[in-house]
Amino acid sequence: MSAVIAPPNATIVDLSPDLESMQDAVVDGLSMSPKSLPAWLFYDARGSELFEAICEQPEYYPTRTELSILRQHGRQIAEALGDGCRLVELGSGADIKAKTLLRILRNPDGYVAIDISGSQLRASALALAREFPRLPITGIVADYGEDSSLPLEESPGDGPLVGFFPGSTIGNMEPHVAESFLTAWAERLSGGGMLIGVDLLKSTERLNAAYNDAAGITEAFNRNMLCHINRELGTDFDLRRFHHRAFFNADMSRVEMHLVSEGEQTVHLAGQPFHFADGESIHTESSCKYSIDSFRELARRAGFMPQAVWTDDQQLFSVHYLRAP
């Protein structure tokens, strides 16, 4: 098999977490009560493929709705972001949203993609580099959290940095964590801003359906986290004895995803046993839902200055532009 040759306008920087960091995250999560694991563990190569398949399911409205907002309001979005910005996408995933945005921006000065999934990021960054041969493209394999050290200042170009955080990934963080995260990024993006997708509150029935698709893709995605951990860390999770559960928690204004133990069992990692009672779960993901006003207030507390907001006709989803002073 011939090696993939990177276009001259593409640079890949690998800062991915090592296995020791992954083991620490899993040990810490399984030692908690209730048990919980970080959502970045979803995204090995298979997990990234499954997530892209989720986005194509009829029940899962966020991806197609956000894309429709970008396309319908593209001219206004380009005007808000201004000429010559350097776009920094957090969690690049598939490149369709970045491609849509880069086509409408006015003379973008560069594109930086940051994602924990190295295989997904490389494929996306190289594809975009070929499609936009005059645009400097930088891919950074890394966690983009508030404590991450990211070489943004080394990316080509001198235009203002504008973060692009689509997919309502901000909802995967508890509100106080989201505020801290946005505070860190307001400092990183000083003089620029952030374009961010935020899922809105809606009926419980619609939310539950979106995370329990009839084809079972979300269930496979959830279980794949355990497969990823088994492969990388040598744990002995029995995937047949954990089932997917997702539901809207109205009190917390969030959809929760869990992996629930069927019967008592013990899982081993690094010489440590982790016992599961029958019905005990691992909390694998939350997806917080906001009103437009509640998210704008959170952004203000984090140091951003909310500017424009765009939604679809049904008010299912929102895209906000936040200025970083």
**Cα 77 versus chain centre, distance:** 21
Residue 158 burial by CB count (10 A; 0-12/13-18/19+): exposed, middle or buried? exposed
Task: State the Cα–Cα distance between residues 54 and 57, nearest whole angstrom.
Answer: 5
Average pLDDT for residues 92-121, to the nearest whole number?
88
Range 10-16+57-203+290-323 has CATH code 3.40.50.150: yes
Question: With 70 as the cut, is the pLDDT of residue 3 above it?
Answer: no
Q: Is the pTM of this model over 0.85?
A: yes
Task: State the Cα–Cα distance between residues 134 and 300, nearest whole angstrom.
Answer: 36
Evaluate whether 104 touches 74 at the Cβ level (below 8 Å): yes
Task: State the Cα–Cα distance between residues 319 and 72, nearest whole angstrom.
Answer: 12
* Averaged pLDDT score across all residues of the chain: 93
Where do the structural domains in the chain lie, given as residue ranges? 10-16+57-203+290-323, 19-53+204-288
Q: What is the pLDDT of residues 226-279, one digit of tens each?
A: 999 999 999 999 999 999 999 999 999 999 999 999 999 999 998 999 999 999
